[in-house]
Structure 1
């Protein structure tokens, strides 16, 4: 990452932090007994308690709930996102049929430790969390930066991952990935009265229909009022921006590593993604050995939040192995 981009990320940290909502976090112990697992089935995105577990010297915050299943679905979050940055409609939709694990990576929001400045470092904590929770096999859903981490976890621990969903993603050295895109930077610099309305610009297109879906999403996003996760701090954005830029640095034969990801993969994209350009999702699908591609119309980086019901149908069919 260039010195310019590091300074830019630090200068715009307050705008970036608008992607999260500040509040307190409930501390409980990790669930492990059958009774506790059964109780977790009654939790929703709004009520699931935040738990903590030690991983690689960091105390990671996570929420584990949903219908008990042999293969949980693990979510890896976007740039400066926290536990409450996921769409409750999407999370609860999955939780009806399978176990869900959400977590904050090291140094992010309620998790302790230093924020890694490489995707490889973030992947170490993600796989470490699953090992600490005694998860032998998992499906991974990575969104944006989280999709890069999901790829790296799959490369590092292929036996741990069954299926992979990459949302708003990119291969290494992708188009426009060596720094935050000009469009994204422009929207981050824009002044707005309500901070989290930044998401209307970076997750949705400017059409009337897309913006209407965006306002519905914001209402859902704000729905958890008790024991919300805390904000990311000022160190998070620069470290994560550096990690994304490192992943996106141009290199010869940058896509060769994708041959090593043999798991069935679903790549999901918006038709007009200005954060990670849509062409990168196409490249992923063409380069991965066993991948399918879904592109939603009139959509931006948050396509799965513009079409939550349709995405749940597509993703459920994929996770269930339906072709």
Structure 2
């Protein structure tokens, strides 16, 4: 089965239906839970990347409350989103997982470890930064600027949020956007709603303005991944996290930005599988 035709399934958490998808069930002892970026739903994962990972891993992706087809409200803080994610996993009867967070998802993943360290076996932080990190509080302004630039050119905002702004970046963006666009409407998630998107932006800004985190509470083996030119959450944050997390490995992909794990889907999936299988 391909991620392109994987439908939403639902679990009830505190009276609200929560949407999620599973791929590669039974392929690994622990599931790999993946948390998506700002303003994204289940349809915003690169299907090529998920198919590659699911060849050897049981993958679970979530719509947190108020996102996509999940009922409830978007939490107004990153720690609040972390608690929501933990409650969903508890409702699915998981007491131990591997955890990947992309961008805002990586911020939530860090807070999940802080709240319940025993839940997370191995941690992957992609295109993200720590609490109080470099320009994390500027994500809101950058997002609107990139959205405006994309609007003027009538292209998907991810073109400028996730990829370099040169011609090569445009070509790489289109490859990924084409893959995402292949999903049949019958298998689609609901779009992100505007109030929920604005709440996410406020939560990120609040988290970015908080005191700089020393990350000493993260003791799990950790894989940190980014492009060498992340304009949304500057790449320097990945280096800083690597310096602070003792048991971590850093991978930086060349000529890539915020969406490096999609641009380098083949290379990253192999890196990830090797990391999880060690």
How far does the alpha carbon of each residue in 1:26-58 deviate from its partner, in whole angstroms, 9 at most, with x for none?
xxxxxxxxxxxxxxxxx3211222111122343
Q: 1:230 aligns with which of 190, 213, 217?
A: 190
Distance 1:206 1:242 in 2: 26
Tell me whether 1:47 sits opposite 2:5 in the alignment.
yes
**Superposition deviation, residue 182 in structure 1:** 4.8
Tell me whether 1:276 sits opposite 2:233 in the alignment.
yes
Give the corresponding residue for 1:21: none
Segments of structure 1 that go 5 or more residues without pairing to the other structure are 1-42
How far does the alpha carbon of each residue in 1:47-74 deviate from its partner, in whole angstroms, 9 at most, with x for none?
2221111223432100112141320011
Distance 2:144 2:128 in 1: 18
Distance 1:236 1:259 in 2: 31
SS of corresponding position for 1:108: coil
Q: 1:285 aligns with which of 219, 242, 257?
A: 242
Q: Which TM-score applies when normalising by structure 1? A: 0.82
Give the corresponding residue for 1:112: 71
Distance 1:250 1:121 in 2: 15
SS of corresponding position for 1:178: helix
Give the corresponding residue for 1:72: 31
**Superposition deviation, residue 139 in structure 1:** 0.6
**Superposition deviation, residue 237 in structure 1:** 1.5
Contact in 2 for aligned 1:255/1:287 (Cα 8 Å): no
Alignment map for 1:164-313 (pairs within 5 Å): 164-180=123-139, 182-190=141-149, 191-192=151-152, 194-196=154-156, 198-225=157-184, 226-251=186-211, 254-256=212-214, 258-313=215-270
**Superposition deviation, residue 189 in structure 1:** 1.6
Contact in 2 for aligned 1:180/1:241 (Cα 8 Å): yes
Q: What is the total number of aligned residue pairs between the two structures? A: 275
SS of corresponding position for 1:110: coil
Distance 2:249 2:226 in 1: 11
How far does the alpha carbon of each residue in 1:279-314 deviate from its partner, in whole angstroms, 9 at most, with x for none?
111111101121111111111110111111011111
**Superposition deviation, residue 211 in structure 1:** 2.0
Contact in 2 for aligned 1:174/1:280 (Cα 8 Å): yes
Give the corresponding residue for 1:86: 45
Bigger drift between 47-56 and 175-184 goes to: 175-184
**Superposition deviation, residue 183 in structure 1:** 4.2
Distance 1:207 1:234 in 2: 29
Distance 2:85 2:254 in 1: 32
Q: Which TM-score applies when normalising by structure 2? A: 0.95
Tell me whether 1:62 sits opposite 2:8 in the alignment.
no
Q: 1:143 aligns with which of 102, 108, 117?
A: 102
Contact in 1 for aligned 2:7/2:188 (Cα 8 Å): no
How far does the alpha carbon of each residue in 1:167-222 deviate from its partner, in whole angstroms, 9 at most, with x for none?
011111011112326544321122245442x2121111123333212111111011
Contact in 2 for aligned 1:181/1:274 (Cα 8 Å): no
SS of corresponding position for 2:61: strand
The 1:149–1:250 alpha-carbon spacing in structure 2 relative to 1, beyond 3 Å, is closer
Segments of structure 2 that go 5 or more residues without pairing to the other structure are none
